[in-house]
Amino acid sequence: MAAQPHGLIATFETTPDLYHAAEQVRDAGYRHWDCITPFPVHGLDKAMGLKRSIVPRISLAGGITGFITGMTLIWWTGEVDYPLIVGGKPMFSPMFAFPVSYELTILFTAFATIIGMLVVNGLPRHYHPVLKYDHIVRGMDDTFFIVIESRDPRFNLANTKALLEKAGGKAITELEP
Amino acid sequence: MSHASEHAADAPAILREVKPAVLPRAVLVENNRSFSWITEKICGIIEGKTPTWWWVCFILACFVASFTVAGLTYLVATGVGVWGHANPVNWAWDIVNFVFWIGIGHAGTLISAILCLLRQKWRTSINRAAEAMTIFAVVCAAIFPVFHVGRIWYAWFLFPIPNSNIIWQNFRSPLEWDVFAVSTYGTVSVLFWYVGLIPDLAVLRDRFFATGNKFRSFLYGLFALGWRGSNRHWSNYEMAYLILAGVSTPLVLSVHTIVSFDFAVSLIPGWHTTIFPPYFVAGAIFSGFGMVMTLMLPLRAIYGLKDLITQYHIDCMCKITLATGTIVGYAYGMEFFIAWYSGNPYEGFAFINRAFGHYSWAYWIMISCNVITPQFFWFKAVRENTALVWVLSIFVNVGMWFERFVIIVTSLARDFLPSSWGYYSPSVVEIFTFFGTFGVFSVLFLLFIRFLPIMPMAELKAVTPQADVHGHGGTTGHGAAEVQQAH
């Protein structure tokens, strides 16, 4: 027996077709499935039933870390490790420490956001079955795909194929694992 | 337009009676172009043969850049005295050029971040190139302060890294704030630009793979990080992009604010003014938009991108230039007013000296270029004359360089004591080094337009009418005008 395919991929020509098909797949109760689109399709998250991204929480943690790092760095270097009077100014004051802490808040937020986004998405990734699909180049260009993975408990080659056909999917193909 | 008809049924009765006018949306991609047209157009630039003009420009740019390399080599080999700085003008072209280049970069971040938050969709066709401009401008800017330290191999003393002197950096100084501001700005600009590139690099990866160019497919694939256009990824990606835009906005405002602190926190008459932060930020955006137009208008003509950078885009850029130029003009006037109103004789003298002293030539060049030039953009006929817009954008660049020169040099050359007054002229090494930075910038920019997608394909597709999931844009690529008739 051939190895279990990664899943089924169906092609949709337009965004409204994809949108309505995504609603049907969502309502059929699938969980391990995805839409492949060349650009972020507005409203598709809702049609897929996706929750709000958790990236902002990671960003917030990064920002707080950055601010604390800045304040601590300036306090420790100026007040603790090597106190040096310059221009009669205090050894430490949050006033003059603010600009640097502010910049570090932004710097750490940016790194946390990007690293967080990549980790949540499981990127970088060397191999993925979807990228082996012959027509993936068009999925990066002007067509849209829905992939339902075989690891989904509701996956059944015949039924899933029927669902995708009913939803208007064309060229339904099994993906190599 | 679509929303007005959609919600007609549940709208208040009054709306059904008065029938408010439906405003047409501006068309951002003209001539009903399809998704694949956009891909072909932008990837075609990279996949096509290198045009002859590119090689001509590239060689010319390399030649110009060699002036910077030569100037810096001579400086490192001899000492920082090869620049024309001497008491009392110990800051001159180096900081002028630094502020000039940093300011140019700011328009890139403004377009990519602030306009993103304000949902100005017209930004999509120019944001990639503008962000590239930001990064290359920061590279050019960084050359000057880094080499001004003289012994360049000690430049790492700027950062809080433990060293054998045990002493730490002076965090009470705005110059140290500037180190953090500019290095954060450079880093975040690169990250923001790169995140925007990931989906487009994936497009190139798959296109090169399909045409059998394994090597380039591998290279683009390496940086595309395995992107596959999954909507679960797009969801996180869009959120991350929004947050980056959100943090870049206060960043761009803070960077030029901190740059202005370099001057405003000192006690020199002509520098010690509270108007500096907003005035510098407005000036930076003004000069940046000048540079964006200087770069984008020729690109638009050469690559035939008139459907993507439409007259509407040029209008928007001209209007922002007009607005920020007028703010800058207001700041010039207000500086004079405050110099008089404060009753401070040093401050008053500094400004009279600017306008009528030894450097008055520079002052009047600045006024003509920065205050008068943008006023032409009030006229539609001017905004629609692309060649004229381009010429005016060059005047803006020149004017903003002179603004920094006037602020920095006139104030230092005539400070408190007449016995210490002086007159500064740049040395030939300084002139060469600055001239060469235009070559450095051009080399980087030419490499960018040859090897990377100059417009964000994914974002452009998302603003076309046919991207609308409710079919309001029509499914065959109908433009907004037809849709409006349909409703």
Cross-chain residue pair B233–A110, CB shorter than 8 Å: no
Name the residue among B195, B474, B234 with its Cα closest to residue A38.
Answer: B234
Contacts of B392 (CB under 8 A, 6+ apart): B373, B374, B376, B377, B382
Asked if pLDDT for residue A39 goes beyond 60, the answer is yes
CA distance A122 to chain B (A): 9
Residue A2: predicted pLDDT: 55
CA distance A162 to chain B (A): 23
pLDDT tens by residue, A113-156: 999 999 998 888 888 888 888 777 777 788 888 888 888 787 87
Residue B214: predicted pLDDT: 87
Interface of B with A in 250-279 (CB under 8 A): 250-251, 254, 258, 261
Nearest CA in chain B to A49: B232
Name the residue with tokens 């108007």.
B275
CA distance B37 to chain A (A): 9
Name the residue among B96, B95, B111, B94 with its Cα closest to residue B285.
Answer: B111
| CA dihedral over A66, A71, A74, A76, signed as positive or negative | negative
User: pTM value?
Assistant: 0.86
Of B237, B250, B258, the CB nearest to A117: B237
Q: What is the CA radius of gyration of chain A?
A: 25
Q: Where are the alpha helices (DSSP H) in B151-230?
A: 174-210, 214-224
Asked if pLDDT for residue A67 goes beyond 80, the answer is yes
Looking at this protein, which amino acid is placed at residue B70?
Answer: A
C-alpha B234/C-alpha A18 separation (Å) is 15
Of A38, A81, A87, the CB nearest to B35: A38
Name the residue among B394, B383, B366, B248 with its Cα closest to residue B317.
Answer: B383
C-alpha B426/C-alpha B429 separation (Å) is 8
Nearest CA in chain B to A127: B226
Read off the tokens for B19. 């029938």
3-state helix, strand, coil in chain B (%, to 5): 75, 0, 25
Flag whether residue B44 sits within 8 Å of chain A, measured between CB atoms.
Answer: no
| SS3 category, A8 | strand
Flag whether residue B187 sits within 8 Å of chain A, measured between CB atoms.
Answer: yes
CA distance A58 to chain B (A): 10
Asked if pLDDT for residue A11 goes beyond 90, the answer is no
Contacts of A150 (CB under 8 A, 6+ apart): A4, A5, A6, A7, A8
Cross-chain residue pair A106–B35, CB shorter than 8 Å: no
CB contacts of B191 in chain A (<8 Å) are: 110-111, 114
Nearest CA in chain A to B468: A15
C-alpha B477/C-alpha B487 separation (Å) is 16
Chain center to CA of B365: 22
CB contacts of A77 in chain B (<8 Å) are: 160, 168-169, 171
> How far from A39 is each of A50, B214, B240, CA to CA, in Å?
17, 25, 15
Interface of B with A in 22-41 (CB under 8 A): 34-36, 39
Cross-chain residue pair B232–A34, CB shorter than 8 Å: yes
> How far from B306 is each of B29, B80, B200, B392, CA to CA, in Å?
9, 47, 21, 20
Name the residue among B110, B383, B151 with its Cα closest to residue B249.
Answer: B110
Judge contact between B171 and A77, C-beta under 8 A: yes
Q: What is the mean pLDDT of residues A45-60?
A: 87
Read off the tokens for A101. 């802490």
Q: Count how many pairs of residues, chain A against chain B, have C-beta atoms within 8 Å.
A: 217
Cross-chain residue pair A110–B226, CB shorter than 8 Å: no
Tally of residues, chain A: 177
Interface of A with B in 18-77 (CB under 8 A): 18-19, 34-45, 47-48, 50, 52-56, 59, 63, 73-74, 77
Name the residue among A133, A177, A126 with its Cα closest to residue A151.
Answer: A177
Structural domains present in chain B: 1-28+464-487 (no CATH), 44-458 (1.20.1630.10)
pLDDT of chain B along its 487 residues, tens only? 344 444 445 666 776 677 666 666 666 666 667 788 888 888 888 888 888 889 999 999 999 999 999 999 999 999 888 888 888 888 888 888 998 998 888 878 887 888 888 877 777 878 888 889 899 999 999 999 889 888 888 888 888 988 888 888 889 999 999 999 999 999 999 999 999 999 999 988 888 888 888 888 888 989 988 888 888 888 899 899 989 988 998 998 899 899 899 889 888 888 888 889 998 889 988 988 898 889 888 888 887 778 778 888 889 889 999 999 999 999 999 988 998 998 888 888 888 888 998 889 999 999 999 999 999 999 999 999 999 999 999 999 999 999 999 988 888 888 888 888 888 888 899 999 999 999 999 999 999 988 998 888 888 888 877 777 776 544 333 333 333 333 3
